[in-house]
């Protein structure tokens, strides 16, 4: 029976990563045994169901196995590992958005012009968001869409909680600035008002 002390360490030592990258199956098994529960917890923390979290953790583990030999600096294994996990999460979101048709609007606006303005604003927010760096998008997604606390974000990212607060604030400012470039306020005001 496994005791807590018998579980593999995380992050795995550089010697284990090097051995796994060279094809040592025992070292690779050690990485996967330690990493799979962490991946499942990571995806659960991002709001996925238990089933989806396990599926995605399996996909991420497979990607790690396939790509490990190409990892240039074994000392950078852990950031690389989480980058693979985040990439799989974003792939999952893109696939999910392709499969699910957008829901019908259940809000009826009395003024058709209001619907046009809202639609234009939503499109501008999407364009502005896509124009941000991957890091800014990730920070805003985790904080403002998923609703993670700064403390939870600090456990998932290689940053301190205070640094994450500042990074999120700056990402929001960049989003506001990008939104202003995509859909200037004057454009909203210059839209003809309904008589």
Same domain assignment for residues 132 and 84? no
pLDDT of residue 19: 92
Could you tell me if residue 11 is inside a domain? yes
Q: Residue 104 in 3-state DSSP?
A: coil
* Regions of the chain with pLDDT less than 70: 1-8, 98-118, 182-195
Specify whether the CB–CB gap between 110 and 77 falls below 8 A: no
The whole-number pLDDT of residue 8 equals: 67
Q: State whether 37 and 9 are in the same domain.
A: yes
Sign of the Cα torsion 165, 166, 169, 170 reads: negative
Tell which of 69, 99, 129 closes a domain: 99
C-alpha span between 179 and 174 (Å, rounded): 8
Same domain membership, residue 125 and residue 55: no
| Alpha helices (H) along the chain | 14-21, 25-45, 50-67, 77-99, 112-130, 134-140, 150-156, 161-182, 185-190
Task: Give the burial class of 57: count Cβ atoms within 10 A of its Cβ; 0-12 exposed, 13-18 middle, 19 or more buried.
Answer: buried
Cα 32 from Cα 66, distance rounded (Å): 12
**Is 94 in the same domain as 146?**
no
Q: Which two tokens stand for residue 95?
A: 């696939």
Q: How confident is the model at residue 122, as a pLDDT? A: 72
Tokens 């950078």 appear where? 76
- Asked if 81 and 120 sit in the same domain, the reply is no
Burial class, 172, CB count within 10 angstroms (exposed 0-12 / middle 13-18 / buried 19+): middle
Q: Which two tokens stand for residue 6?
A: 């018998």
Host domain of residue 168: 112-190
Tell me the C-alpha distance between 34 and 85, whole Å.
14
């Amino acid at each position: 029976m496994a005791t807590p002390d018998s579980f593999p360490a995380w992050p795995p030592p550089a010697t284990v990563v090097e051995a796994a990258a060279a094809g040592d199956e025992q070292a690779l098994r050690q990485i996967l045994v330690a990493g799979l529960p962490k991946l499942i917890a990571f995806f659960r923390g991002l709001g996925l169901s238990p089933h989806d979290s396990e599926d995605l953790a399996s996909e991420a583990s497979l990607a790690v196995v396939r790509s490990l030999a190409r990892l240039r600096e074994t000392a950078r294994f852990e950031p690389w590992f989480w980058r693979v996990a985040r990439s799989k999460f974003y792939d999952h979101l893109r696939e999910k958005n392709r499969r699910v048709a957008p829901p019908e609007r259940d809000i009826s606006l009395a003024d058709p012009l209001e619907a046009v303005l809202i639609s234009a604003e939503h499109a501008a927010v999407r364009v502005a968001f896509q124009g941000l760096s991957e890091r800014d998008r990730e920070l805003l997604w985790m904080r403002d869409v998923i609703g993670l606390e700064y403390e939870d974000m600090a456990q998932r990212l290689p940053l301190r909680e205070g640094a994450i607060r500042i990074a999120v604030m700056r990402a929001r400012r960049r989003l506001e600035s990008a939104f202003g470039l995509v859909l200037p306020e004057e454009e909203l005001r210059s839209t003809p008002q309904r008589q």
